[in-house]
Each structure stands twice: as C-alpha cells, then as structure tokens.
C-alpha cells in the first residue's frame, strides 16, 4: 500500500473514532437527562434546575412566614435538592436488602397539600424523585386541596414534566372546594395503580436510600404498614437533624399522639426495625391491596386530625402491624401549630370551640365510639366537651368500618400493642376535669380560674396516688406559698416533694397536707384555702373519674 493511501486510511479511522466518541458522549448525556433517578447535584443539571426553580418560586403569592408556620423566605434561597447529613446507622449502607422484583413492587406516592409554599412543595417532590430508584417509582399523585395559590398546580405540572420528562407518571388533581387531607389521601389511593402506596406530607425532604429498607420489610409481611424514622427539620432554621431511634409512636386516652420510650428485646440493636402502636406525621407505606381491604382512612373523619391514630388502631386490631424502620430516613417539618384554617363544624350557638379543635374533637369522638369499646368512658373523662359534639352518624355507620374484618376488641390492643396505655392511669387515684358545681378548675397562663367545663382544652388534673400531688398534663402542680397563697409550681420529684404540694382526698374535699385547710370557692371566680366545713358546696370538687373510694 502506498504511503498516501495509508495516510488517508489512518485519517479516516481517526475521524471515525472521534465521531464514535462524540456519539457515545451524546448518548450518555441524553441518558443522564432521560433517567429519572437524576443526580440533581451535578453542575450541569443543577444549573438547569436552578433556572426552572427560580422561575417557579418567583410566582409564590406574598405571605408572611406565620402563614406557613416555617421560614419560607429561607426556603426560597435554598437549592431545590440540597445535601443532607446521613443520619442512619452505618450498617444500613452495607445491608443486603431482600427486595421484591420491580414487576411486583411498583410504588404510587400520594401527596396532598393545602397552602404549601412553592419552594417547600417542590423540594419535597424533587428529593423524592432524585433519591428514589426509578425502577420502583411508578407514579406521583399530587392533590391540591383548594389552595389559595390557584395557579400552583398548573405551574408544578409544567416544571416537573420539563425536569423529569415522562417518568414517573404524574397525576394532578385540584379540589374545587376544601375536602381535607383525609378525603384527598383516600382519593389519591383510589386513582393509584401501583402495588404499594406511600402517603407523604408536602413539607418533607427524602434522604438517600430511604426506599429499600421499607420494601425489604413489606416483602417479608404484606400485612404491615411501615414508616421511615422521621428526621426533624427545624421550621425556623430548616436545619436537618437526626431523629430519635429510642422512641416509638403511641397515644393517650385523649387520642392525642405521643412519643413513647422504645423497649428493647435482648440483643436488639437500635437500627433494627421495630413495632410501634402508631406512626407520626401520617407518613407510611403500605400494600395498596391491604389498604383497601382495611377500607382506607375512615371517610367519616373530616379535614385533618386523628386519621393516623384511627388507621393504626384498625390496622392492629384487624390483623396487621406497624413498624418504624430506622434505616429509612425522611426529613419532616414539625410545625408548632396548624398553618391552615378549618371550616366551621357546628351552629354558631355551639361554637365556643376553636374550629381546628372542634374538628379534631369530632374525629376523636368517632374513633372512641368506633374502636374503644368499654374504654371509651376514659376518653369522655378527659374530653367532656366531646359529649356536646353532634356526629349525625348511626351506630351502623360507626361500625361499618369493621365490615368484613375479623377485628379484635380494644382490650386486645391494650394487652398486646400498647400495654402502658392501660397502666398509664394506675398511679393516679383520680383524674380528669375538676368540677365545683357547674364550673371547672382551669389554668390559663399560671392563673387559676373557674370556667365552663365544656370548653375545649379544659385543664385535666391528676391526683397522684403515692405523692398526693395534684398536677396538670404540663407537669405543673398546685401548691401553696406562704401557708395561704395558691400557686401553680413545677412539680417536685423524689425526696424534694414536701407538704407544699401534697393534697388529701376527704369525701369530695381537697385537703392541703401542709396547712390542713381545704380548697374553697368562696366567691364566683375566686379560689382560696379555708377551714374545712362538712357539706360546704363551695369546697366540693369532683373529678371526672375517681379510681378509688373517697374517705371521710
């Protein structure tokens, strides 16, 4: 072969090699954009997302941070997907999770929101998609519960389809009138087509590797509902903090959620999945088939409040269980109070009640009547205002949620799931509201008052059997200063307890151990200590629930 022909051949080969390299780079770049498991922290995609992000949040209606109950101004300045600390145990990163095949484990995520800030909502969605395997993430169902920002959903549809293209599938719904979180989540589940449902709040940040530990637990037992361990996000600083693996979810007889200390079995490690009576934040993952076998969230509950507790009770009593999985982490903003209004529940003449509290109380009453059986009197002891709440539901409607299920009675829950709930009141000789004639003793900003017993959030009192202390739920005790002045004080403990905080029950009187005087209501709204007088109506204070006989 001549030298000229050899040079032309080498030149052609070089050109072909260069074109092949360019084609390969273009293919990789296109695959990067088309892949829904995006690395949104890479420089190229970060710049692309940043332009879309700024345009989207620029149309946020102006509202003060108090409207959202978190620092919206700071949220707008943060990236759509920011780096998060790895809060789970190191062993979680090297585990061999037994995952179901993708063909049998497609995930539908349901997010319902009302008046969420655009930056917070989009960050929730972007972290979810970018940190979830696209093989399992089937669809995202987003329901706007009639937010004031009427254009938000249209804008969200546009930006998500531009960033993430055709996968996952997006389903958008906007309620024309306020229907509430409970109705919206049921509706999201109804239109979902995946094998599993994840109910996710709209003010979260999904951490890396969150899905696989949950899939692993559900694959072992399809009647479980599993929850990630929630890492708190500070509402003011938006700092991402590590959640507490030493706590489980539960509730009290008022049907309010509480964190409870986790009990460890011999050899159990903190990072292991563990059973929990309830879950927090309403964030859970469950088989779609099992969710509908349990008839979903109780449709008689309205707007928001109690649905997680009701579903947890139903799940346990009807053959399922709840687990918290510490190897799965999702950040959640825990707001100090509701950031939205509740519609009025009752006629004006019944509305001494705050609308949010009235809604929660009505929902709680439905739970008590549906599930607590003979223990519902404890709920009414602590929430006497619930007796005045009309349900407008028949006993058949209240019981219909159990239709087709072989459900245990609530006593089974007390014995096998949350036994500390049953013994919770054993240390008290009396509890509940403390009534004097037609009014109840109430604490407001450390001031002792006598008010209507049917007010919402009326003070609940506890007379401790061993110490004689008369305390509220806020660890404040009724004591005496200078031998005559009644005051609310921090409850003393152990050897520090003295006669200043000791009370004795004598018939319906409360005798102060230190002064040997009785609690008295000599004037309409005045509390004092006076010499004890038999049969004096002003000294008769009756607890909603007395656990032992009164002494003379």
Model confidence pLDDT, tens digit, residues 83-120: 999 999 999 999 999 999 999 999 999 999 999 999 99
Say what the pLDDT of residue 92 is: 95
- Alpha carbon distance 410, 71 (integer Å): 42
Q: Which pair of tokens denotes residue 309?
A: 């507790």
Which pLDDT score, from 0 to 100, does residue 337 have? 60
Task: Report pLDDT for 13.
Answer: 59
pLDDT of residue 368: 93
Question: Whole-angstrom Cα distance, residue 66 to residue 3?
Answer: 81
Query: For residue 350, what pLDDT is reported?
Result: 47
The domains spanning 43-85+97-333 and 428-546 adopt the same CATH topology: no
- Exposed/middle/buried for 31, CB within 10 Å: 0-12, 13-18, 19+? exposed
pLDDT in tens, 415-463: 999 988 876 667 888 888 899 988 899 998 888 989 888 776 788 899 9
- Give the pLDDT confidence score for residue 345 in this predicted structure: 55
* H helix runs in 167-233, sequence order: 180-191, 211-220
Report the DSSP pairing between strands 257-261 and 247-251.
Answer: antiparallel
Q: Is the pLDDT of residue 3 over 60?
A: no
Domain 43-85+97-333 part of CATH 3.90.550.10: yes
Residues whose CB is less than 8 angstroms from the CB of residue 368 and which lie 6 or more positions away in sequence, other chains included: 255, 376, 379, 380, 386
- Write down the pLDDT at residue 349: 35
pLDDT digits (tens, 9 = 90+) for 17-37: 555 555 555 444 343 333 333
Give yes or no for a contact between 112 and 201, defined as CB atoms under 8 angstroms apart: no
Mean pLDDT of 50-77: 85
Confidence of residue 360 (pLDDT cuts 50, 70, 90): confident
Share of the chain above pLDDT 70, in %: 85
Give dist(CA 140, CA 121) in Å, integer: 13
Q: Which tens digit of pLDDT belongs to each residue from 127-154?
A: 999 999 999 999 999 999 999 998 999 9
What are φ and ψ of residue 330, in 5° steps? -135, 130
pLDDT over 60 (residue 344): no
Under DSSP, is residue 402 helix (H, G, I), strand (E, B) or coil? helix
Q: Per-domain residue ranges for the chain? A: 43-85+97-333, 428-546
pTM, rounded to two decimals: 0.75
Q: Using the 8-state DSSP alphabet, how is residue 168 labeled?
A: S
244 CB neighbour count, 10 Å cutoff? 16
Render pLDDT for 202-222 as a digit per residue (tens, 0 to 9). Answer: 999 999 999 999 999 999 999
Residues 6+ apart with CB under 8 A from 340: 114, 115
Write the pLDDT tens digit of every residue in 263-321: 888 889 999 999 999 998 789 999 999 999 999 999 888 887 789 999 999 999 999 99
pLDDT score recorded for residue 26 = 44
In the CATH scheme, what is the code of domain 428-546? 2.80.10.50
pLDDT in tens, 510-527: 999 889 999 999 877 788
User: Angle at which helices 180-191 and 307-317 pack, to 10 degrees?
Assistant: 50
Which has more confidence, 342 or 519?
Answer: 519
């Amino acid at each position: 072969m001549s030298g000229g022909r050899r040079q032309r051949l080498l030149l052609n080969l070089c050109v072909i090699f260069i074109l092949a390299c360019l084609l390969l780079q273009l293919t990789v770049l296109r695959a990067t954009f088309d892949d829904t498991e995006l690395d949104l922290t890479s420089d190229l995609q970060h710049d692309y997302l940043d332009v879309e992000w700024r345009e989207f949040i620029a149309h946020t209606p102006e509202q003060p941070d108090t409207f959202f109950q978190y620092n919206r101004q700071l949220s707008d300045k943060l990236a759509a997907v920011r780096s998060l600390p790895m809060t789970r145990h190191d062993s979680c990163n090297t585990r061999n999770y037994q995952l179901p095949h993708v063909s049998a484990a497609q995930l539908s995520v349901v997010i319902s929101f009302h008046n969420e800030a655009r930056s917070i909502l989009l960050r929730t969605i972007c972290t979810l998609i970018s940190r979830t395997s696209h093989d399992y993430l089937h669809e995202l169902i987003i329901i706007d519960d009639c937010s004031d920002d009427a254009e938000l959903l249209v804008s969200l549809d546009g930006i998500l389809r531009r960033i993430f293209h055709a996968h996952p599938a997006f389903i958008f719904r906007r309620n024309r009138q306020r229907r509430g979180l409970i109705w919206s989540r049921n509706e999201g589940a109804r239109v979902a087509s995946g094998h599993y449902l994840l109910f996710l709040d709209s003010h979260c940040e999904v951490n890396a590797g969150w899905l696989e530990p949950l899939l692993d637990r559900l694959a072992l037992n399809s009647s479980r509902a599993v929850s990630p361990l929630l890492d708190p996000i500070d509402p003011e600083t938006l700092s991402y903090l590590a959640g507490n693996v030493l706590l489980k979810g539960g509730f009290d007889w008022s049907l309010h959620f509480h964190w409870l200390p986790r009990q460890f079995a011999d050899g159990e490690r903190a990072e292991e999945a563990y059973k929990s009576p309830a879950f927090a934040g309403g964030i859970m993952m469950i088989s779609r088939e099992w969710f509908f076998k349990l008839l979903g969230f109780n449709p008689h509950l309205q707007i928001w409040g109690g649905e997680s507790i009701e579903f947890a009770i139903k799940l346990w009593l009807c053959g399922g269980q709840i687990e918290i999985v510490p190897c799965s982490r999702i950040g959640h903003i825990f707001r100090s109070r509701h950031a939205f209004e509740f519609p009025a529940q009752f006629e004006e003449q019944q509305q001494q009640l705050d609308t949010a509290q009235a809604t929660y109380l009505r929902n709680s009453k439905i739970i008590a009547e549906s599930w607590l059986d003979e223990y519902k009197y404890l709920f009414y002891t602590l929430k006497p205002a619930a007796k005045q709440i009309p349900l407008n539901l028949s006993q058949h409607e209240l019981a219909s949620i159990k239709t087709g299920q072989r459900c245990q009675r609530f006593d089974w829950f007390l014995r096998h799931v949350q036994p500390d709930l049953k013994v919770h009141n054993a240390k008290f000789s009396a509890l509940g509201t403390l009534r004097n004639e037609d009014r109840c003793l109430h604490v407001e900003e450390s001031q002792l008052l006598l008010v209507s017993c049917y007010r919402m959030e009326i003070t609940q009192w506890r007379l401790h059997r061993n110490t004689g202390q008369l305390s509220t739920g806020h660890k404040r005790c009724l004591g005496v200063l200078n031998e005559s002045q009644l005051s609310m004080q921090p409850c003393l403990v152990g050897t520090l307890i003295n006669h200043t905080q000791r009370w004795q029950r004598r018939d319906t009187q409360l005798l102060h151990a230190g002064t040997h005087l009785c609690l008295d209501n000599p004037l309409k709204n005045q509390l004092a200590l006076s010499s004890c007088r038999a049969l004096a109506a002003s000294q008769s204070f009756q607890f909603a629930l007395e656990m032992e006989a009164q002494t003379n």
